[in-house]
């Protein structure tokens, strides 16, 4: 039986999907999670399996010291574990990306430097160290710009600024978000880059010894002009001309080569305008949230199964299902406490809609980007054409009504008292 070390994030959307794929393939999973090490044993997990993913060197030492059996592969469920997975694969001489390559593409500043170094299309960008006044960069900035945290995901800590006043506000806000979300925030600082206009696309692919195979190209049909960038719709196949789709695939493959990425899933996001293709991100992981389920039909298996099969060297059956599919990451309309939803049955009844799954829990505090990094849930559709899939998702979304209440209702009380007096 093949044995894989699986790096499970505490709040992973896809932990269960990877475990289900392992069960189906008869792969033994050695589970490691970034749970607090005191909590893990009380949850029935061995202490060795409690690792700090954001301290990859230290976590890799722990695994290598404690593990007493051979592994056939190491796999991270999501972005948080990819650096540790690469480091472990390197040290155990298993196939995988080099830790250096993963570290570089995961850091938005290092990624921009890589693009510039290899002469890819890249906006002007500046590094803003912690504590430094953004005003010092003003003579060298051309608005609009985008202020970004260095290694957060799901558009968390990404804000557009159109003038110097907005820039100061955005920098303060992104600094606060990054320091809550990343314990290395102080050393990391921020990146400020030129705003790229245009339409956005995403490529899902896998690398095998440096060879890139595309699984799907998605259109992201909603305009993403900021100031915050909540991602909603992903529709495949793309409606871009075939020649342009092939240019996108080549560009992503070229970046992977330049970065030294060689193995495993790749998720790339890009903008396209009159000047060409602008890569926003090339990440050595698969698509986030539950979005990968949109590909189950066309792949003939779950994306998690496909990834796991590659890790353990199992053959991939061919599948070329026709038709279009789409997913909506249900946007969070406002910050607050989630109390419930109406219209679920009506949304599920929309023709072409195949699944509506809510991932939010009653009582959970939720916030849209740039503060939050979660979604209310996911709507999936399958149809004859991309336009029909997109339309079905929009109709289903309109049928959902979320009850989100303010977090601090009690704060209103003093005002009410004073008005009575
Ligand atoms: P994350 O990894 O958090 O998704 P990204 O850098 O990919 O961070 O940015 C998130 C979103 O913000 C992108 O999908 C895009 O819509 C928008 N964005 C980021 N950088 C730029 C830019 N330079 N110009 C225009 N939009 C941008």
196 lines ligand 1 (CB under 6 A): yes
pLDDT of residue 411: 53
228 lines ligand 1 (CB under 6 A): no
Lowest mean pLDDT among 19-28, 32-41, 61-70, 354-363: 32-41
* Angle, alpha carbons 128-134-137 (nearest 5°): 80
Do both 188 and 300 map to the same domain? no
Q: pLDDT tier at 44 (50, 70, 90 boundaries)?
A: low
| Residue 77 CA, distance from chain mean position | 11
User: Closest residue (by CA) to atom 8 of ligand 1?
Assistant: 155
Do both 178 and 207 map to the same domain? no
Domain count of the fold of the chain? 3
pLDDT of residue 45: 59
| Residue 348 CA, distance from chain mean position | 25
pLDDT of residue 318: 73
Burial of 166 (0-12, 13-18, 19+ CB in 10 A): middle
| Residue 15 CA, distance from chain mean position | 15
Nearest-CA neighbor of 279 among 304, 261, 302, 306? 261
Q: What distances in angstroms separate CA 142 from CA 194, 200, 255, 327, 388, one per listed residue?
A: 7, 22, 26, 35, 40
Q: Taking the CB of residue 210, how many other CB atoms lie within 10 A of it? A: 12
Task: For the chain, give the percent of residues with pLDDT over 70.
Answer: 94
- Would the pLDDT of 321 be above 80? no
In this predicted model, what pLDDT tens digit does every residue of 330-358 receive, in sequence order? 999 999 999 999 999 999 999 999 999 99
Do both 154 and 180 map to the same domain? yes
Q: Which atom belonging to ligand 1 lies closest to the Cα atom of 200?
A: 16
Do both 209 and 247 map to the same domain? yes
134 lines ligand 1 (CB under 6 A): no
For residue 421, report the distance from its CA to the centre of ligand 1, in Å.
50
The answer to whether residue 97 is domain-embedded is yes
155 lines ligand 1 (CB under 6 A): yes
Ligand 1 pocket, mutate which of 158, 222, 277 (most atoms under 8 A from CB): 158
Cα–Cα distance between 217 and 231 in angstroms, integer?
A: 16
pLDDT of residue 415: 46
The one-character DSSP state at 411 is G
- Would the pLDDT of 41 be above 70? no
Q: Is 388 left (phi over 0), alpha (psi -120 to 50) or beta?
A: alpha
Q: Which atom belonging to ligand 1 lies closest to the Cα atom of 224?
A: 16
For residue 126, report the distance from its CA to the centre of ligand 1, in Å.
15
Nearest-CA neighbor of 166 among 143, 185, 149, 150? 143
Nearest-CA neighbor of 193 among 232, 143, 240, 239? 143
In this predicted model, what pLDDT tens digit does every residue of 222-257 receive, in sequence order? 999 999 999 899 999 999 999 999 999 999 999 999
Ligand 1 pocket, mutate which of 146, 194, 266, 287 (most atoms under 8 A from CB): 146
399 and 178 Cβ atoms separated by less than 8 Å? no
Q: Model's pTM, two decimal places?
A: 0.93
- Phi/psi of residue 251, nearest 5 degrees: -65, -45
In this predicted model, what pLDDT tens digit does every residue of 134-159 receive, in sequence order? 999 999 999 999 999 999 988 999 99
For residue 147, report the distance from its CA to the centre of ligand 1, in Å.
10
The answer to whether residue 363 is domain-embedded is yes
Q: Who has greater pLDDT, 300 or 69?
A: 300
Point out the domain boundary residue: 163, 194, 225.
Answer: 194
Do both 184 and 206 map to the same domain? no
Burial of 362 (0-12, 13-18, 19+ CB in 10 A): exposed
- Strands 190-194 and 145-148, bridge-based pairing: antiparallel
Report the CATH number at residue 172: 3.30.1490.20
- Would the pLDDT of 413 be above 70? no
DSSP 3-state of 408: coil
Q: How many residues does the chain have?
A: 421
The answer to whether residue 111 is domain-embedded is no
Do both 358 and 286 map to the same domain? yes
- Strands 28-33 and 3-8, bridge-based pairing: parallel
Looking at every residue in the chain, the average pLDDT score rounds to 92
Q: Where are the beta strands (DSSP E) in 72-154?
A: 73-76, 125-128, 145-148
200 lines ligand 1 (CB under 6 A): yes
Q: Which atom belonging to ligand 1 lies closest to the Cα atom of 152?
A: 3
Residues 6+ positions from 196 with CB-CB distance below 8 Å? 123, 271, 273, 278, 280
181 and 148 Cβ atoms separated by less than 8 Å? no
For residue 369, report the distance from its CA to the centre of ligand 1, in Å.
11
Report the CATH number at residue 62: 3.40.50.20
- Would the pLDDT of 42 be above 80? no
Tokens standing for residue 403: 């009850």
User: Closest residue (by CA) to atom 10 of ligand 1?
Assistant: 155
Do both 162 and 262 map to the same domain? no
In this predicted model, what pLDDT tens digit does every residue of 202-225 receive, in sequence order? 999 999 999 999 999 999 999 999
Q: What distances in angstroms separate CA 123 from CA 144, 235, 257, one per listed residue?
A: 11, 26, 21
The answer to whether residue 114 is domain-embedded is no
Do both 386 and 286 map to the same domain? yes
Cα–Cα distance between 305 and 14 in angstroms, integer?
A: 12
Q: Which atom belonging to ligand 1 lies closest to the Cα atom of 193?
A: 23
Residue 401 bridge partners (DSSP)? 342
Place of tokens 């996911």: 378
For residue 153, report the distance from its CA to the centre of ligand 1, in Å.
9
Cα–Cα distance between 214 and 298 in angstroms, integer?
A: 12
For residue 351, report the distance from its CA to the centre of ligand 1, in Å.
32
178 lines ligand 1 (CB under 6 A): no
Place of tokens 């915050």: 228
Tokens standing for residue 244: 């342009």
The answer to whether residue 413 is domain-embedded is no
The one-character DSSP state at 344 is H
Domain carrying residue 145: 124-194
Cα–Cα distance between 51 and 56 in angstroms, integer?
A: 9
DSSP 3-state of 20: helix
Task: For the chain, give the percent of residues with pLDDT over 90.
Answer: 82
Do both 213 and 313 map to the same domain? yes
123 lines ligand 1 (CB under 6 A): yes
Report the CATH number at residue 216: 3.30.470.20
281 lines ligand 1 (CB under 6 A): yes
Q: pLDDT tier at 418 (50, 70, 90 boundaries)?
A: very low
Do both 207 and 169 map to the same domain? no
For residue 8, report the distance from its CA to the centre of ligand 1, in Å.
25
The answer to whether residue 28 is domain-embedded is yes
Do both 242 and 163 map to the same domain? no
The answer to whether the peptide bond before residue 144 is cis (omega within 30 degrees of 0) is: yes
pLDDT of residue 410: 55
Ligand 1 pocket, mutate which of 114, 229, 285, 370 (most atoms under 8 A from CB): 229
The answer to whether residue 117 is domain-embedded is no
Q: What is the 3-state secondary structure (H, E, C) of 296-313?
A: HHHHCCCHHHHHHHHHCC
| Residue 32 CA, distance from chain mean position | 20
Do both 97 and 130 map to the same domain? no
83 lines ligand 1 (CB under 6 A): no
Nearest-CA neighbor of 252 among 117, 389, 135, 120? 120
The answer to whether residue 115 is domain-embedded is no
């Amino acid at each position: 039986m093949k044995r894989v070390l699986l790096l499970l994030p505490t709040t992973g959307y896809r932990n269960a999907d990877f475990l289900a794929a392992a069960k189906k393939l008869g792969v033994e999973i050695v589970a490691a999670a970034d749970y607090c090490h005191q909590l893990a044993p009380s949850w029935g997990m061995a202490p060795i399996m409690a690792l700090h993913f954001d301290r990859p060197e230290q976590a890799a030492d722990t695994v290598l010291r404690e593990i007493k059996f051979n592994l056939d592969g190491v796999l991270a469920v999501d972005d948080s574990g990819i650096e540790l997975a690469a480091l472990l694969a390197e040290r155990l001489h298993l196939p995988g990306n080099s830790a250096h390559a993963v570290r570089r593409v995961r850091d938005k500043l290092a990624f921009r430097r890589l693009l510039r170094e290899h002469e890819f299309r890249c906006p002007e960008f500046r590094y803003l160290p912690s504590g430094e006044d953004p005003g010092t960069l003003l003579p060298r900035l051309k608005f609009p710009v985008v202020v970004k945290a260095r290694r957060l995901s799901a558009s968390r800590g990404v804000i557009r600024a159109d003038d110097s006043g907005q820039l100061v506000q955005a920098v303060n806000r992104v600094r606060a978000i990054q320091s809550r979300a990343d314990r290395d925030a102080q050393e990391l600082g921020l990146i400020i880059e030129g705003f790229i206009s245009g339409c956005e696309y995403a490529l899902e692919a896998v690398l095998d010894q440096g060879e890139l195979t595309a699984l799907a190209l998605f259109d992201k049909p909603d305009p993403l002009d900021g100031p915050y960038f909540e991602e909603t719709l992903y529709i495949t196949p793309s409606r871009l001309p075939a020649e342009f789709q092939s240019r996108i695939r080549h560009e992503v493959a070229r970046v992977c080569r330049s970065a030294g990425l060689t193995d495993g899933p790749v998720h790339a996001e890009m903008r396209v305008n009159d000047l060409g293709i602008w890569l926003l991100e090339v990440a050595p992981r698969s698509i986030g949230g539950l979005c990968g389920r949109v590909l189950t039909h066309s792949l003939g298996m779950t994306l998690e199964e496909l990834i796991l099969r590659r890790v353990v060297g199992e053959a991939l059956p061919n599948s070329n299902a026709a038709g279009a599919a789409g997913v909506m990451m249900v946007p969070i309309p406002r910050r607050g406490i989630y109390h419930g939803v109406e219209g679920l049955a009506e949304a599920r009844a929309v023709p072409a809609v195949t699944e509506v799954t809510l991932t939010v829990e009653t009582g959970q505090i939720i916030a849209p980007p740039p503060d939050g990094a979660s979604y209310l849930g996911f709507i999936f559709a399958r149809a004859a054409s991309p336009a029909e899939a997109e339309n079905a998702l929009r109709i289903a979304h309109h049928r959902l009504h979320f009850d989100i209440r303010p977090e601090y209702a009690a704060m209103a009380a003093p005002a009410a008292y004073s008005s009575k007096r």
